[in-house]
Structure formats: structure tokens, C-alpha cells
Amino acid sequence: MKVAIVGAGAAGFFTAINVKENYPNAEVIIFEKTSKILAKVKISGGGRCNVTNGCTDIELLSRAYPRGQKFLKRLFYTFNTQHTLDWFKSKNVALITQKDGCVFPESQQSQTIIDCFLEESKRLEIQIKLNSAVLGLEEVSNKIELNFKDESLVFDKVILTTGGSPKRKNLEWLEKLGHEIIDPVPSLFTFNMPNEEVIELMGIVVEKTIVTIQGTKLKSSGPLLITHWGMSGPAILKLSAFGARILSDSDYDFKIQVNWVDEINNEIVKKELLEIVKLNPNKQLQKIKPYALPNRLWGYFLKKINLPLDKKWSELGNKGINKLVNILTNDVYSITGKTTFKEEFVTCGGISLKSIHSKTLESKSVSNLYFAGELLDIDGITGGYNFQAAWTTAVVSAQLK
């Protein structure tokens, strides 16, 4: 059996390795249009490669995917995060799970993962052909012919693992073959706030926040990072993933509400502030800050709501307390634009899941053509989930049923 894998990224290599392990006598070739392999693996997680997430509960795991949640949930029974951990362990790659659930190689180097894939590919005699762009494909007597610049090759099975595409036009050749295309838009991006003074506090991180997009039901929680262009961190990235379509439709012009203290009950926050008044009546506002907020952020809040830094807590009065409650739980910012990490871009959209068989990932319109990875309309939040989707879909497609 001759099998072609198109795309030498994470899904491509993992698919090829699994195909060869399932069918030892098969001839497996990975075709890559560029001169680079595993480019996204190399730079992901700041060069450390967040290979998966420590969450092993399939129900919880599936909730990390704004697109493809139900689809992946079924596939996770075949290959999930625990299987990923076991697989790398079997290849002598030591992994470490952080407190936040992110899983990295113990070496803290993405090269460790790349070396593992290359060693496995060599051991299994998988061929890798670079600078080999596929220009088209067609069915030829129950096989698939791939067209390249200088030649055409026929395969028994073809698995497309070309990754996410930011432009629809790159997917039109697949649309012509009968696949429904969901327009790609960015996911996992940070929020730009060029007109907000909060960006002067760049570098500040607040570990527990709740962020809401005004006018929607979209809400996210977790750490928030203030940057020199706006806001980032898990709370923002998660919100950008679940809101990818809505925010694209708004042309990235919207407002967010930040709850800086991770407490939705305003009365509890008010009680906390009144306790400070009771215990420190003569202390200045700038000297005592609630919820262990960073000093610069607390000073910024006081300035924003026109409360003098040297004002005493006992002089606040009910009006002052309410002002503080409001900014701590309902601080509003205007967003104008986004910042995407071009090398690490994640797209929402791609090949519609309606166009493939859910149990095998085979195309409904082209026999013996399969899909895996981010080319599909599947994407996850930050934290290793997108790589896990790549591993899972790779394993399922590699069964070639």
C-alpha cells in the first residue's frame, strides 16, 4: 500500500508514524511544500512546545474546543491526553505537567519533540520530500493521483495535514472536490487598546480575573497580562477563541468588562472594602490595597476613578466605596484591533466536519482521502489543546478504515 501524507507539521508526522506502525509494509511518504518541517512545533510555547494538556477527563477536555467539541469528544475515546503522555513516555521523552495543566518536554526544548519524530520516521523508513507542493489531486480507478510541478504520483491513500489556512482561497481546490469550506478567521489572539492608558502598566499580571465581552454571553476566567499594546494572557486568549467568529464580524471593535478580583458578587467585594475601612481607617488609600493587587495597578484604579492617593480609607464614604467596587468588578475597556502571533496562528474554520466521516476522517466526496490536524474546522483554547487535536485526528485518520 502506498500512502501520501501532505504537510510536514505536527499532524503530518504523527499521522505518518501511526500509519507505518499500523501497516508496517506500507510505503509512506510525507510531502512538504516548503523547505521546513515541524515549523510550528519548533516555535510553539515560546520554543518549549506545549505538547498536550494534563486534563484526562474526556468531558472536560472536549470543552476546551470552541469548534469540534462533540466531534472530538468521540475521537478522544480512541486517543486522548493520557494516550499522548503514554506515547511520548514509550519513546523515552520525559514530559512535565505544570500547575496550569500545560505539558512540556522536561528539557523545555521543542527540539526534543522534533528529534523524537525524526528518529521515529527514520526507524520506520518514512520518506520525507521537501519543496514538493501538491498542485491538485484526482481520483483514478479507486486510487488518488497527486499532481506536482514536474510529475504526478498515484497513491492508495492520501491524508491531508496541511494545517490551518488564514485565507479561504488556499482551500478552494478542496472545495472544488466537493468539500464544504468554513471561512477561516483568526483564533487565539490578543486585544489591542491603543486609546487606553492601562497599556502604560505593561508587564503586570493578575492571576485571577473574569473577562466578559459586552453585548454577548462570552465570558472567560484566568490570568490576564497587560501588554504595551493591550491585554493578553490565558483569560484573553480563551475569550478570543470562543469569540473568534463574533469578534471577526465586529471587525475587532468592541468593549470588554474586566473583573479584576474574580468575585461576581459585588456585596462580597464591598464587605471586603468595608473591612479595610474598619481595620485601617487612618491609612491612605495608596498604602492598603485589597486582593493583593499590584501596586501600580491599584494606583491606576484610584487615578481612573478620581480618588486621591493620600485620601484616608475612613474618608471614602459610601460613594467612594461603590466607585471602588465598580472598577474592581466591572472595569470597561475599548478594543480596537487584535494582535496575532503570525508564526503560531490558529484558525477557526477550514474543512467542514460535515464533509468527512466522523469515525474515520475520510472525505465523503473523495474515496481514500483523509484529513487530520488544523486543516479541519477544529480548534482549541491555549494550553496544549491544539496539539492534542492534531495527535488525536492523526491517530484516527491513520487507521485508514
Assess whether pLDDT exceeds 60 at residue 97: yes
Assess whether pLDDT exceeds 60 at residue 192: yes
Assess whether pLDDT exceeds 90 at residue 310: yes
Distance from C-alpha of 137 to C-alpha of 147, rounded to nearest angstrom: 6
pLDDT digits (tens, 9 = 90+) for 221-250: 999 999 999 999 999 999 999 999 999 999
- The band of 314, judged by pLDDT with boundaries at 50, 70 and 90, is very high
CATH of domain 2-186+343-397: 3.50.50.60
Mean pLDDT of the region 181-193? 94
Q: Which three cell numbers stand for residue 105?
A: 518536554
User: Residue 53's pLDDT is what?
Assistant: 97
For all residues of the chain together, what is the average pLDDT? 96
- Angstrom distances, CA of residue 32 to CA of 28, 84, 99, 358: 13, 24, 36, 26
Closest CA to 170 of 39, 351, 373: 351
Least confident interval from 9-13, 166-170, 256-260: 166-170
User: Residue 128's pLDDT is what?
Assistant: 98
Instruction: Annotate 353-367 with three-state secondary structure.
Output: HHHECCCCCEECCCC
Assess whether pLDDT exceeds 70 at residue 303: yes
User: Residue 17's pLDDT is what?
Assistant: 98
Mean pLDDT of the region 156-179? 95
Residue ranges of domains in the chain:
2-186+343-397, 189-339
Q: Is 126 exposed, middle or buried (0-12, 13-18, 19+ CB in 10 A)?
A: buried
Assess whether pLDDT exceeds 70 at residue 50: yes
Distance from C-alpha of 170 to C-alpha of 2, rounded to nearest angstrom: 26
User: Residue 341's pLDDT is what?
Assistant: 66
Distance from C-alpha of 371 to C-alpha of 365, rounded to nearest angstrom: 12
User: Residue 401's pLDDT is what?
Assistant: 85
- The single-letter code of the amino acid at 350 is G
Mean pLDDT of the region 364-379? 97
Assess whether pLDDT exceeds 70 at residue 344: no
Assess whether pLDDT exceeds 60 at residue 343: no
Phi, psi values for residue 334, rounded to 5°: -95, 130
Assess whether pLDDT exceeds 90 at residue 347: no
Distance from C-alpha of 148 to C-alpha of 160, rounded to nearest angstrom: 15
pLDDT digits (tens, 9 = 90+) for 132-141: 999 999 999 9
pLDDT digits (tens, 9 = 90+) for 352-365: 999 999 999 999 99
- The band of 346, judged by pLDDT with boundaries at 50, 70 and 90, is confident
User: Residue 111's pLDDT is what?
Assistant: 98
pLDDT digits (tens, 9 = 90+) for 275-285: 999 999 999 99
Mean pLDDT of the region 70-88? 98
Assess whether pLDDT exceeds 80 at residue 345: no
Q: Where are the beta strands (DSSP E) in 282-327?
A: none
User: Residue 342's pLDDT is what?
Assistant: 58
Assess whether pLDDT exceeds 60 at residue 69: yes
Assess whether pLDDT exceeds 60 at residue 5: yes
